[in-house]
Amino acid sequence: MKGKLSSTLLASALAAITIGTSASAVAVGGDDTEKGHYLSGKQSRETIAARQKWFGIDNVNPRTGAVRSDRMIMSWAGISTFAASFMGHVVLLDGALAYARNGTWGNSKRYISTSPEEYAALNPEMYIVGHGHADHMGQLPIILGILPTLPMYGMEEHCNDIKGKMAPAVVNCTSILHAGAQFGEEATIPANLIPGLELRAVKHPHSAGPADKVADPPFDTEQATPRACIAYTQYAPDGTEPTMFGGPTSGVLSFSWQFHVIGTNFSLGWADTNGDISGNVNVPGLGTGGNLPAVYATWPHTNVAFGSIAVSPRRIFTQQINAIEPQIFIPIHHDPCAFDVKVELDNEIDKLPDALKPMLWYLTDPGDYHRPLVFDPSSPAWD
């Protein structure tokens, strides 16, 4: 049954899914053969160190820097940004690290214990766009300054915006959805873009705050209710934080992605924003998004969903769960200091029918930044 782990497979699922390391990882010093679960290729010392930090020291070959080729790994950079290793292929999902001179992420680089330079040092094979706001594309110009030939995949508007920002430098951005596409239109993704995976992406409504916060409340994240965070007073901005870039025409234009491992039952979803898909809210020029549940129904079942809970009312979370029916739900875009939002999410999950209730993995900052979440696609736990 979608949305639940069967009781007989629960122990297997918990054994196959680990935070930080993989229980069956190859020992440090293992070779880069197929038996060792590593892809071949030699990385720099800086890349080896960054990958060990972000993907788990026992999931990265210490001699070559190759990441295990039999695991799906997601490592949070804050907001909705993740460094991912999909069966050994390193991919960046969004490019905004959770620090800034002021505003929601008004803290220093020390708070997040990383930098755009370290994020780029992961030496990814590609960059995948969620949407173009500054809290998602913020440090992308810095990343491209370090990795100028990095392949990017997004909507035509995403590509146009970053090309305009980086001009006259050439940007390697491939449009996978035409300009002006409607909600529910699916991307055309190059075949074998990530070997061993099928990728899907659909244009999805961006989050929007409720008209009545009392009758239709959002989750009480800092984006909904600005409030003091003690960690920020301890890690105040020092003035060196970069200005975050946002796409002037592609800011609200959003993709919802799925990554399916071929030959398995495992699929991972990532949506860096979530808006209304009931069909009752029309966005001029884009539609209502009411066709999104039908699109999701044609996709392989999403076992693990990383979904934004920011800004939109809580009922949007319920729409998301009803449409996707994940076994595990991991909320994103709720930092900073949002540990107290967990009870609200627990309460929303309690309202769901038992058949739809996902297992909740709750991330909080700063402790869960670049702490890898490791999934074994071959586990029998995935339905």
> What tens digit of pLDDT does each residue of 243-258 get?
999 999 999 999 999 9
pLDDT in tens, 178-221: 999 999 999 999 999 999 999 999 999 999 999 999 999 999 99
Q: How far apart are CA 48 and CA 35, in angstroms?
A: 20
Give the integer Cα–Cα distance in Å for 48 and 61: 8
Pairing of strands 267-271, 304-308: parallel
Structural domain total, the chain? 1
Q: Which residues contact 303 (CB under 8 A, 6 or more apart)?
A: 265, 266, 267, 268, 326, 327, 328, 382, 383
What percent of the chain shows pLDDT beyond 90?
Answer: 83
d(CA 73, CA 372) in angstroms, rounded, equals 6
> What CATH number is given to the structural domain containing 83?
3.60.15.10
> Is 326 within a domain?
yes
Q: Is residue 272 part of a domain?
A: yes
pLDDT at 77 over 90: yes
Q: Is the pLDDT of residue 326 over 50?
A: yes
Q: Is residue 2 part of a domain?
A: no
Residue 29 belongs to a domain? yes
Inside any domain, residue 380: no
DSSP 8-class letter at 295: H
Give residue 122's identity as a one-letter amino acid code: L
Structural domain includes residue 164 = yes
Q: Is residue 382 part of a domain?
A: no
Contact between residue 327 and residue 306 where contact means Cβ atoms under 8 Å apart? no
Name the residue range of residue 357's domain: 7-375
- Cα–Cα separations (whole angstroms), residue 226 to 147, 221, 275, 335: 35, 8, 21, 11
pLDDT band at 21 (very low <50, low <70, confident <90, very high): very low
Asked if pLDDT for residue 61 goes beyond 70, the answer is: yes
Mean local confidence (pLDDT), 118-125: 96
